[in-house]
Structure 1
Amino acid sequence: MNFQYEIVNWYQLYKRDLPWRHTQDAYVIWLSEIIMQQTRVEQGLPYFNRFLEAFPRLEDFASATEAEVLRLWQGLGYYSRGRNMHHTAQQVLVLHGGVFPVEYDALIKLKGIGDYTASAISSFAAGEARAVLDGNVFRVLSRFFGIATPINSTEGKKEFSDLAQELIKGQNPMIYNQAIMEFGALQCKPKSPDCEVCPLQVQCYANRHNLQQALPVKIKKMPPKKRFFNYLIMEQDGDILVKKRQAGDIWQHLYDFPLIETDGEAGFPDEALTSEIRKLCGDQVVIKPLVAKKHVLTHQIIYVQFFVLANYIINFKQDAGVKWVGKMELDNLPQPIVITNFINAYITK
C-alpha cells in the first residue's frame, strides 16, 4: 500500500468544496488558515466569508481599525489572533508592498504566523514542499504508524515533523497537504473514526491493535483556572456604562462592564460583594441580581454574574476605559461573546 496515494485518492473522492481551495491567493489562504485554527469549518466558514466581504484586499484589512477587526472576530475566541492578523496585514503592507508573501522563509517572520501556517500558505499558494502538522495530521500519522510519543512534547513534535516532511517528498504539496488534513477531519476523526470503510485499515497500526482511542498521545495540561466576574449594569438616560479591558488579561481591548472579581462564587446577598459594590456605587445603591452564566475558555472557566444597579453614585474613576455609550454605539463595540449574549437578551434596544 502507498500511504500517500491512498490519502490523495480518498481526497479526490470525498473532499469538501471550500472557497479557499479555489484560489492560490496567499492573502485569502492566510485568512482561512488563521480563522480555521482550532475552529470547526462549519463554525469558521461564516467568519471567513464576513472577513473577505469586509476586507476583500489586504489593503482594506490593513487600513481597518483594531476595533473593526475584533468586532468581526467576536465569538471565535483567541482574540490575540485577531489582533495579530491586523498587525500582520500592516506588516505586509509596509514590508512587502501589500503583496502577501508565499515563501515559507518570508511568511515565518510575520507576526502571528508559525510553522503550521507558514507551511500551509507556502504549499497551497506556491507549491513549496513544506509538510503541515495540525491536529488532524498528528492523529492520522500517530494511528497509522503507531507512534505513541506525545504530540505536544519536544520529542514528539520533532518525530512527527521529520516523518511528515519525509512523506511529502515527491508529492504535489498543494494536494497532499489538503488531503491528509481533510482525511483526519472527516475519516480519521478523534472519536468514532470510520475504520470499516477506511482505505488504510489493513496496515493501520491503531486499527490492527484496537488503539484508535489511545492514539495520539497528548500530555495533559493543568486544569483550567476558575474565575468569578460580577458585572455591574448601570444605565442612565438611555446610555449604559462600559469598560474597555486593558492589556495583560483575557479579552484585551474588548468592552465589557465595570466588574468586581471575587475569589469564589458570590451568592446574593453576599456581604463581602455587597460591601464592595457600595464602596464603588454608594451606600444607597439598590442591587438586583439578574442572571448567572458559565463561560468556558481554553485555560480558564469564567463564572459570570450580572447585577443591575439603581440609585447609585459612581465613586470610581472614569478614565478613557470607562465611558457611557448609547445603544447604537454599544452594538458596534467589540465584546466578549458572553457580553454580547447578555446585551441581546437583557438590554432594551
Structure 2
Amino acid sequence: MSKAFTFSEAVLNWYHQHGRKDLPWQQAISPYRVWVSEIMLQQTQVTTVIPYFERFMQRFPDVQSLASAEQDDVLHLWTGLGYYARGRNLHACAKRIVSDLNGEFPRSVEQLSELPGIGRSTAAAIASISMGINAPILDGNVKRVLTRFFAIDGWPGELKVQNRLWTLAEELTPDHSSREYTQAMMDLGATLCTRSKPACGICPLQPQCAGLQTGKPTQFPNSKPKKEKPVKSTLLLMVRNPDGQYLLLQRPQQGIWGGLWSFPEAEDAGSAERWLTQTLPGVHWRSEWLTAFRHTFSHYHLDIQPLVFHLHAQPSAVREAPDTTHWYDPDRPSTLGLAAPVKMLLDRHSAEDLL
C-alpha cells in the first residue's frame, strides 16, 4: 500500500465521519457558488464569510446578475471583508464569463486560471468541487497540512517550497472522490491541523506525521521572514453638512481601497483647509479633531487622524467630478462600497453623535 493511498484514504475516511457538510456553499453546489465562496475564503475565516456569502447569493444568485450589477453594489456587499481587489476581480470575472463564455464556466483548470482573480488553486477547487475534475489544490490550509506531515522547512511562499508542495499535492490527490478529497483537505487544516493549537491526538494523519514526530508540529509551516511594516499617516476629512451628510469621494480603481468611497484626505490641517476652500467655495465651518487610530494593511500600518469640518450651510457647489462625489447620510445609508475605516467612522459618528 503506497503512502499516497494511505494518506488519501485516511483523509477521506475522516471526512466521511467528521467533515463539514452543511456550509452554505456546500448546498446546491455549482461552479458559481463554489467560485464566490473560494474568493471570499481567501485569507478570511469561514465564520466571517458565511453571512457575507449568504447576503451575496441573495442579491446575486447567478453569474448573470453579478455581471449586470454596478460595481458599487458589489463592493457594498463586500464592505468589511477586506482585500477589495477580490471583489473587483469577482465582478470583472463575471462580466468576462457572461460576455465571452455565454455565462458558462470553463471546464478545465487551465482555462479557469485565465480568468481575472482565479489562481491555480482556486481554479482547481472550482473544478474538483463543482465539476468532479481530478485536480490538486494548495490553499493555506493544505499548505499547513502538507508542510507538517512531511516536516518541510522553509516558508511556503518561497518558490522552491511552493513547487515541492504542488508536487506532493499532485502525488497525494486520489483519482476518485475529487470533491470529497478537496473539501476534506480544507477541513482538516481548518478544524484539526490549525496554526497554533493542532488537535494531533485525533488527527487521522498523526501515525505518520513527521512534524508531530519532531515534538514541535507548530514550527511547520515556517513563518514568513520578519520584515518591519512601514508606518504611513493621513488625515481623513469628514466634511459634514447641516443635514448630517458627509462628503465622500470615489477612489481610483487602482491602489489602496480601489473603487471604494472614502473621505477626502490631506497631509495636515493647513492643506485640509486649503482643499476645503477650493473644493467648497464660500463655505464656513468649525473643525473638530476626533481620536486617531491605526489601520493595518498587509504591507504597512496607516495611522488615521479624523478631522471633522462642520459646515454652517450647504455648499452651493462641489468642485470635484460629479460622478465621483456623494453626500452620504449615515441614517439612510447608500449602497456604496466603503473602505472599512470609513464605514467604522460613519457608524460611530452618525448625525446624532456629533450634535
Tell me, yes or no, if the aligned pair for 2:292 and 2:303 is still in contact at 8 Å: yes
CA distance in 2 between partners of 1:108 and 1:164 (Å):
18
Aligned to 2:125: 120
Aligned to 1:339: 342
**Aligned CA distance change for structure 1 residues 333 and 12 (closer, same or farther; 3 Å):** same
Tell me, yes or no, if the aligned pair for 1:102 and 1:125 is still in contact at 8 Å: no
CA distance in 1 between partners of 2:96 and 2:311 (Å):
49
Once the 2 structures are TM-superposed, how far is the Cα of residue 322 of structure 1 from its aligned partner?
5.5
Aligned to 1:303: 303
Once the 2 structures are TM-superposed, how far is the Cα of residue 114 of structure 1 from its aligned partner?
0.6
Aligned to 1:44: 49
Tell me the SS of whatever aligns to 1:111: coil
**Aligned CA distance change for structure 1 residues 178 and 289 (closer, same or farther; 3 Å):** same
Query: Which string of whole-angstrom CA distances, capped at 9 and with x for unpartnered residues, describes residues 214-273 of structure 1?
Result: 111244263333221211222224132211111342001111111113xxxxxxxxxxx3
**Aligned CA distance change for structure 1 residues 22 and 322 (closer, same or farther; 3 Å):** closer
Aligned to 1:183: 188
**2:74 is equivalent to residue 69 of structure 1:** yes
Query: Which string of whole-angstrom CA distances, capped at 9 and with x for unpartnered residues, describes residues 73-107 of structure 1?
Result: 11111111101111111111112211222321221
Aligned to 1:6: 10
**2:327 is equivalent to residue 325 of structure 1:** yes
Aligned to 2:287: 287
**Aligned CA distance change for structure 1 residues 326 and 202 (closer, same or farther; 3 Å):** closer
Aligned residues: 338
Once the 2 structures are TM-superposed, how far is the Cα of residue 200 of structure 1 from its aligned partner?
2.1
CA distance in 2 between partners of 1:23 and 1:166 (Å):
30
Once the 2 structures are TM-superposed, how far is the Cα of residue 321 of structure 1 from its aligned partner?
6.2
**2:98 is equivalent to residue 93 of structure 1:** yes
Give 1:1-349 correspondences, 5 Å limit: 2-16=6-20, 17-220=22-225, 222-238=227-243, 239-261=245-267, 273-281=268-276, 286-310=286-310, 317-320=319-322, 323-327=325-329, 330-348=333-351
Tell me the SS of whatever aligns to 1:291: coil
Once the 2 structures are TM-superposed, how far is the Cα of residue 326 of structure 1 from its aligned partner?
4.6
Query: Which string of whole-angstrom CA distances, capped at 9 and with x for unpartnered residues, describes residues 201-221 of structure 1?
Result: 222111111121211124426
The residue type equivalent to 1:274 in the other structure is A
CA distance in 2 between partners of 1:179 and 1:324 (Å):
46
CA distance in 1 between partners of 2:343 and 2:107 (Å):
37
Of residues 207-216 and 45-54 in structure 1, the stretch that sits farther from structure 2 once superposed is 207-216
Aligned to 2:280: none
Of residues 18-27 and 281-290 in structure 1, the stretch that sits farther from structure 2 once superposed is 281-290
Tell me the SS of whatever aligns to 1:158: helix
Task: Quote the RMSD (CA, aligned, Å).
Answer: 2.3
CA distance in 1 between partners of 2:261 and 2:269 (Å):
24
Alignment identity in percent? 31
CA distance in 2 between partners of 1:331 and 1:175 (Å):
41
Tell me the SS of whatever aligns to 2:207: coil
The residue type equivalent to 1:112 in the other structure is G
CA distance in 2 between partners of 1:131 and 1:332 (Å):
38
CA distance in 1 between partners of 2:327 and 2:45 (Å):
34
Of residues 193-202 and 134-143 in structure 1, the stretch that sits farther from structure 2 once superposed is 193-202
Query: Which string of whole-angstrom CA distances, capped at 9 and with x for unpartnered residues, describes residues 131-180 of structure 1?
Result: 00011111111111121143111111111101110111334211111111
Q: Give TM-score scaled by structure 1 length.
A: 0.90
**Aligned CA distance change for structure 1 residues 207 and 59 (closer, same or farther; 3 Å):** same
Q: What residue ranges of structure 1 are gaps of 5+ in the alignment?
A: 262-272
Once the 2 structures are TM-superposed, how far is the Cα of residue 52 of structure 1 from its aligned partner?
0.7
Once the 2 structures are TM-superposed, how far is the Cα of residue 284 of structure 1 from its aligned partner?
7.5
Aligned to 1:267: none
Tell me, yes or no, if the aligned pair for 1:153 and 1:219 is still in contact at 8 Å: no
Tell me, yes or no, if the aligned pair for 1:294 and 1:302 is still in contact at 8 Å: yes
CA distance in 1 between partners of 2:176 and 2:33 (Å):
23
**Aligned CA distance change for structure 1 residues 324 and 28 (closer, same or farther; 3 Å):** closer
